[in-house]
Chain A
Amino acid sequence: MAIKRYHYARDVEEALSLLLAYEGRGALVAGGVDVARGLPGEIEGLIDITAAGLSGISREGGRLVVGATATLEGIRTSREVKAYMGGFLSEVMGHVATLSLRNMATLGGAVVSAHPWADIPTALIALGAEAVWRNEERTERAPVEELYARPFRAIFRRAVLTEIRLPAWDGAFAFEKLSRNAGDIALVNCACGLGLDAEGKIAWARVAVGATPYRAERLVAVEELLAGEVPSEALWEEAGHRAAAEARVGDDMRASAEWRRAVIPVIVRRALERAGRAVMGDR
């Protein structure tokens, strides 16, 4: 590594102006666990943003706002996070790596790295999370799902992600991950959410499947299949099979496309079952 300087940015403005001044030869460092593992050779300056005032976690009405440099363990144990959507995000963080990694790794780092095998993008996409970032001209925002459809790596070479905003949903979410052991990354994962209308029918559904081994995507056809229906075991089963048919799956060193297609119905059914039980328990 040809790193010449390590800066400690005191606020977003300083981080951004340093980043821009390096003209592609600087990199932001949050927890740094990904930066440490794969630093491009041209990088000369590291800009640490963990003291730039971006670590807050707060509730705004039913919404949850998480600063980009909040650590994954800080999120997992936060009272605000536990109070949001029945502690769903806290549960997701419990599936991510291990304590000594979560003590360093940040939510912003996870969003920008966007590892296809990761759990966090799956959960954020299902939740309809919105990313907020600051570039040279202005503050911009977009749903995380939409951000991933853009050249987001290029965006964050010239911008600082400042926070992730999670909307309030009238309903419940559940997350499922299959992996070889508790500390390992996912072979496949999914996040599902459900809300009911006054008659007990499904008012809305959110279904995202990730680590397929491609980055998480929403399965809108499955969401549409669920909407308007009455919750039942048979419906979860049907949705699971539809999810397997809709999801883009592939082979990698961890699992085959065939295996992934065979287990997607199981994890989607489990997640829908749990989300379903949670919303019906609410009534």
Chain B
Amino acid sequence: MMKIYFELNGEPVYTEIKPGEMLLDLLRRLGMKSVKEGCRTGECGACTVLLDGKPIRSCLTFAAKAKGHRITTLEGLGTPEDPHPLQEAFLEAGAVQCGFCTPGMILVAYHLLSHNPDPSPDEVRAAISGNLCRCTGYVKIVDAVLTAARWKREGKWRKER
């Protein structure tokens, strides 16, 4: 076992990890159940989290790599009581069916909108192209991201998280 320090959704975490364990398993053990295991081979994107603001695949990232870094999961964006505008947009657009892909989709969309608040539909498609959805057919996911982007430009994102 080894101890690492990192920041999880803005909170300091000092925890024991196994030296060979994956970030996906650590985060779920810490209660971040939005982080899903789809394939564990880097193909599906269900395990996406942000490391220092950039999307990564937590299933292929050693937990030890979180040491000294900022990790963001969907829990860090919004809660059922206080959802993030992206979460609201996904619900409003009907972009969630089983929901398994949704946390990863929202995190890559969040990253996209953080540097491009006015993406074209093609830019949204490119941004989510590494995240597989087996339910929706993607159309409503793209709609949801475009809606959230419009809300952001209209200043409707109450607080930048």
Contact = CB atoms under 8 A, between A and B. Distances in A.
A126 B56 CA distance: 30
A1 B22 CA distance: 11
Interface in A1-45: 1-6, 8, 29, 32-33, 35-37, 39
Nearest to A184: B43
Interface residues of B, number: 27
Taking chain B's interface residues, is the majority helix, strand, or loop, or is none over half, making it mixed?
mixed
A168 interface: no
Contacts of B28: none
A36 B19 contact: no
A243 B58 CA distance: 40
B42 interface: yes
Interface in A48-75: 48, 50, 73
B153 interface: no
Contact of A103 (B45, B56, B67, B127): B56
A145 B73 CA distance: 41
Q: Which of B51, B62, B129 has the most CB of A within 10 A?
A: B62
Interface stretch (A93-101, A110-118, A151-159, A244-252): A93-101
Q: Which of A100, A103, A181, A182 has the most CB of B within 10 A?
A: A100
Contacts of A3: 18-20
A86 interface: no
Nearest to B62: A32
27 contacts: A3-B18, A3-B20, A5-B19, A6-B20, A8-B64, A32-B60, A32-B62, A33-B57, A33-B61, A35-B62, A37-B60, A39-B20, A46-B62, A46-B64, A48-B64, A73-B54, A98-B129, A98-B130, A99-B55, A100-B56, A100-B57, A103-B51, A103-B56, A104-B56, A181-B129, A183-B43, A183-B129
Interface of B: 2, 18-20, 22, 41-43, 45, 48, 51, 54-57, 59-62, 64-65, 67, 108, 126-127, 129-130
Interface of A: 1-6, 8, 29, 32-33, 35-37, 39, 46, 48, 50, 73, 97-101, 103-104, 181-183
